[in-house]
Copies of this chain bind each other. A is one copy, B any other.
Amino acid sequence: MSNHSNPFLYNCWYAAAWSHELVETGKLARMYLEIPIVIYRGESGKCFALDDRCCHRGAPLSLGRVEKDCIRCMYHGIKYDTDGKVIEIPGQDFIGPNHKVQSFPIVEKGNLLWIWMGDPKLADPSDIHDYGPLSDAAWKGFEKEAYLHYEANWMLIADNLADFSHLAFVHTNTLGGSEDYAFITHPEVEKLENGFKLVRWNKNDSPAPYHAKINPDLPDKLDRCNSVQMIVPGTFFMSTIMAPVGWDPKGKNLDGVKQYRNCQYMTPETKSTTHFFWNYLHNYRTDDPAVSKSLKESLLEGFMEDKEIIEAQQKMLENKDRFNSRGMKGDEALIHFRKVYTALLNHERKNFNFHERQVGNSII
């Protein structure tokens, strides 16, 4: 993917957690880009992110205690403020300038927490790729937004999302519908500076199983469309239209049209594991909780199909012996995406050096 031993991009916002993962004064121990982080919600309701290793002897702050907006390590009682500065050491008055842990910018938007692992001076919350439907009352998502832990490099999930022909084979009975999809439909890919957009119509096709399950009176055939946007490093948005055959997408007639909105976020935990956040929203029968429940079940079933093949792929790719990857036409979007990502990575490495692995002193 790149020649860097450290393949992570630092100066960008990563999806870190859903808000519901942090209840009142709750704490969350989670690793991002191989750095252990504690995220906690203070009594003020605001969230903070610190290096999870107490600067004294490395005990996890995530085993600590939230006090107002501060957090206290529960090994020897060292107390940190929201910037990671030590403000109390039991039994001594002196606190030095290096008595601190790194703090990380963290922002709550909608129900999602975003973390910035790079140079804090560059962290601008307006750069967060917020997904409108998440905070739009017209769109209803899951009661609790979903999280999956992947035993795979995040880029393999991005690859998966960059070519929907896999719906035909991986998701035939869940999210897809027929294997023809891979043969007769084609994506229109729009290359962007920060990713790509992609539109894929399959017209006059059977309804997708997950859609049919909650809409029992569908006609035999529908015009279906997925419109995708992928943004480096790991943000994915999708609009889905299920329309009567012959429907004019440029017209304004929405009779018989049903739509979905879907967001997915991939955040590297390590080189070979990924945090995966997602939601799937609908804008009809929003007073019926069964719709959302069914969508969550169906999508989860489909996403577990992805997870199985992607994690199997990860294992295969870890054995590099005599394996050489060969391209196909459907790779257009993913190749562009990797190109964009690698350029950003090279740019970041040239301009910053804080992110190269720095080995600290050792006490064991």
Whether, in the assembled complex, A328 has its beta carbon less than 8 Å from a beta carbon of chain B, the answer is yes
How many angstroms between the C-alpha atoms of A56 and B316 in the bound complex? Answer: 12
Copies in the complex: 3
How many angstroms between the C-alpha atoms of A359 and B92 in the bound complex? Answer: 49
A166 to chain B, nearest CB (A): 5
A91-B182 contact, Cβ under 8 Å, with A53-B316, A58-B313, A170-B74: yes
- Find out whether the CB atom of A330 lies under 8 angstroms from the CB atom of B362: no
How many angstroms between the C-alpha atoms of A155 and B55 in the bound complex? Answer: 18
A236 to chain B, nearest CB (A): 18
Whether, in the assembled complex, A1 has its beta carbon less than 8 Å from a beta carbon of chain B, the answer is yes
Whether, in the assembled complex, A364 has its beta carbon less than 8 Å from a beta carbon of chain B, the answer is yes
Stretch from A203-211, A317-325, A341-349 at the B interface: A317-325
Whether, in the assembled complex, A102 has its beta carbon less than 8 Å from a beta carbon of chain B, the answer is yes
Q: Which residues between 92 and 150 of chain A lie within 8 Å of chain B, taking CB atoms?
A: 92, 94, 96, 98-99, 102
SS of A interface (majority): loop
- Find out whether the CB atom of B321 lies under 8 angstroms from the CB atom of A359: yes
In the complex, what residues of B have CB within 8 A of residue A165's CB?
76-77, 90-91
In the complex, what residues of B have CB within 8 A of residue A170's CB?
74-75
Contact of A58 among B36, B323, B328 (CB under 8 A): B323
Interface centre among A52, A58, A168, by most chain B C-beta atoms within 10 angstroms, is: A58
In the complex, what residues of B have CB within 8 A of residue A102's CB?
322
The 6 closest A-B CB pairs, nearest first, are A90-B182, A323-B360, A92-B329, A153-B364, A324-B360, A58-B316
Chain A interfacial positions (CB closer than 8 Å to B): 1, 34-36, 51-53, 55-60, 63, 72-78, 89-92, 94, 96, 98-99, 102, 153, 155-156, 159, 163, 165-166, 168-170, 179, 182-183, 185-186, 271-272, 308-309, 312-314, 316-317, 319-330, 357-364
